[in-house]
């Protein structure tokens, strides 16, 4: 019932019964409970042709607050108080400096404490999007640039704040944000998160796809050019060595033709995406990252490369779509909110 109201506002009890295939009596009881909890409200009477008009119902989106944390930025950890409709009501951030390891964990704890202090409604939970590989228990298995290895982030924060805590890889939270709060999407979607590293978040048949070792979408070290620039992993020509933010900025700073550098970066992404599109049959790709780097030249070069390297039916002009996210810098933050919503209320 909540999921229906999250997706479609102003449904009547009869609409809900139809959508959920529950009996009208069950719907009435459930709606009554949700109204008592303050999660749902009647939104005034709708028009009626005959008899008693139906009462449109809607989610009270500011009845609960979500504490959302984005650890994907290189310079600062960012957090926000967000309502259930994805509206940011308060922001906090803390400079990371070069904090890593336990020091970085301490910064995250302090940031959450400050953000919680700004909530004015019951807090549904705390969501964190972090770089690196995160397992089902919310342990950061590996986040190299934070020097985190097997850090039980969810457990540490849940113990400290006595609230539900959910932790996910930043690209995976980004795909949740795009699905719930972005432009209208289908149920198959790939978000390419370009930051200090490159990650892809995957939504396959309407479900987040995390993979056997929670490493699905770790595309940064796929080699696209064996003679390419050296990568910090020790190999040459990895995708990251072309399009990770520090590498791309540095290449642009030394380039005679910046447009050419952006186009080559887009091509390198296209090479990787051609394989992903063909394997998964996902045709909607969303770019999330600095807009000055992921510009039109970058996007077009990626799209052209996919078309040139895939089956003709995939390369039709309308078959594959690459677009920029409309959620801007908040994509990981909002995704951390959807993570809480989906785990605590079953809505997304």
* Least distance between Zn ion and beta carbon 242 (Å): 10
Minimum CB distance to Zn ion, residue 226 (Å): 12
We find the least distance from the C-beta atom of residue 21 to Zn ion, in angstroms, to be 49
What Rg, from alpha-carbon coordinates, does the chain have?
22
Question: Kind of pairing, strands 140-143 and 40-42?
Answer: unpaired
Give the nearer residue to Zn ion in terms of CB position, either 239 or 302. Answer: 239
- Tell me whether strands 133-134 and 198-204 are parallel, antiparallel or unpaired: unpaired
Please give the Cα distance from 23 to 19 (Å, whole number). 11
We find the least distance from the C-beta atom of residue 75 to Zn ion, in angstroms, to be 22
Half-sphere exposure of residue 63: CA atoms within 13 angstroms, side-chain side: 14
Closest distance to Zn ion from the beta carbon of 241 (Å): 6
What's the gap between Cα 332 and its chain centre? Answer: 5
For residues 90 and 221, which CB has a smaller minimum distance to Zn ion in the complex? Answer: 221
Which residue, 27 or 239, has its beta carbon nearer to Zn ion?
239
- Of 67 and 273, which CB lies nearer to Zn ion in the complex structure? 273
Distance between CA atoms of residues 211 and 76, nearest Å: 29
Q: In the sheet where 207-208 sits, what is the strand order?
A: 207-208, 198-204, 189-194, 284-288, 321-324
39 and 5 Cβ atoms separated by less than 8 Å? no
Residue 181 or residue 242: which is nearer to Zn ion going by CB?
A: 242
Pairing of strands 284-288, 189-194: parallel
Residue 197 C-beta: closest distance to Zn ion, Å:
9
Q: What's the min distance (Å) between Cβ of 186 and Zn ion?
A: 32
Q: What is the DSSP letter of 239?
A: H
Min dist. Cβ of residue 168 to Zn ion (A): 23
Half-sphere exposure of 92 (CA within 13 A, CB side): 21
- Determine phi and psi for 23, rounding to 5 degrees: -75, 155
Dist. CA 148–CA 134, nearest whole Å: 11
> What is the smallest separation between the CB atom of 183 and Zn ion, expressed in angstroms?
32
Q: Which is nearer to Zn ion, 167 or 269 (CB)?
A: 269
Give the H/E segment covering residue 189.
strand 189-194
Is the Cβ of residue 231 or residue 277 nearer to Zn ion in the bound state? 231
| Site residues for Zn ion per CB under 5 A | 221, 231, 233, 235, 238
| Six-digit token string for 272 | 């990787």
Closest to 242 in 3D by CA, of 169, 227, 256, 257: 227
Q: Tokens standing for 218?
A: 């770790």
Instruction: Please identify, using beta-carbon distances, which residue of 66 and 231 lies nearer to Zn ion.
Output: 231
CA distance 153 to 179: 25
**Closer to Zn ion by Cβ: residue 90 or 232:** 232
């Amino acid at each position: 019932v909540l999921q229906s109201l999250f997706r479609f506002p102003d449904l009547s009890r009869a609409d809900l019964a139809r959508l959920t295939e529950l009996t009208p009596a069950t719907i009435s009881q459930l709606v009554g409970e949700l109204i008592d909890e303050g999660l749902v409200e009647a939104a005034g009477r709708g028009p009626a042709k005959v008899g008693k008009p139906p009462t449109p119902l809607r989610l009270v989106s500011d009845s609960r607050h979500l504490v959302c944390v984005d650890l994907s930025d290189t310079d600062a950890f960012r957090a926000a108080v967000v309502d259930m409709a994805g509206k940011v009501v308060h922001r906090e951030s803390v400079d990371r400096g070069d904090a890593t390891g336990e020091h970085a964990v301490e910064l995250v704890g302090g940031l959450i404490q400050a953000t919680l202090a700004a909530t004015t409604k019951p807090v549904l939970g705390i969501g964190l999007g972090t770089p690196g590989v995160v397992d089902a228990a919310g342990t950061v298995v590996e986040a190299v640039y934070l020097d985190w290895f097997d850090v039980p982030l969810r457990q540490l924060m849940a113990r400290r704040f006595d609230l539900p805590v959910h932790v996910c890889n930043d690209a995976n939270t980004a795909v949740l944000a795009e699905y719930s709060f972005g432009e209208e999407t289908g149920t198959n979607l790939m978000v390419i998160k370009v930051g200090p590293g490159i990650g892809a978040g995957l939504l396959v048949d309407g479900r987040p796809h995390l993979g056997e070792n929670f490493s699905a979408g770790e595309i940064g070290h796929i080699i696209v050019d064996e003679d390419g620039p050296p990568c910090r992993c020790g190999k040459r020509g990895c995708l990251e060595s072309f399009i990770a933010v520090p590498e791309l900025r540095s290449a642009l700073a030394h380039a005679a033709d910046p447009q050419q550098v952006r186009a080559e970066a887009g091509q390198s992404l296209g090479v990787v995406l051609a394989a992903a599109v063909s394997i998964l049959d996902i045709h909607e790709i969303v770019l999330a990252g600095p807009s000055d780097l992921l510009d039109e030249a970058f996007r077009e070069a990626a799209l052209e490369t996919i078309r040139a390297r895939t089956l003709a039916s995939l390369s039709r002009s309308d078959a594959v779509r690459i677009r920029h996210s409309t959620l801007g810098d908040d994509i990981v933050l909002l995704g951390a909110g959807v993570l809480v919503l989906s785990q605590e209320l079953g809505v997304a």
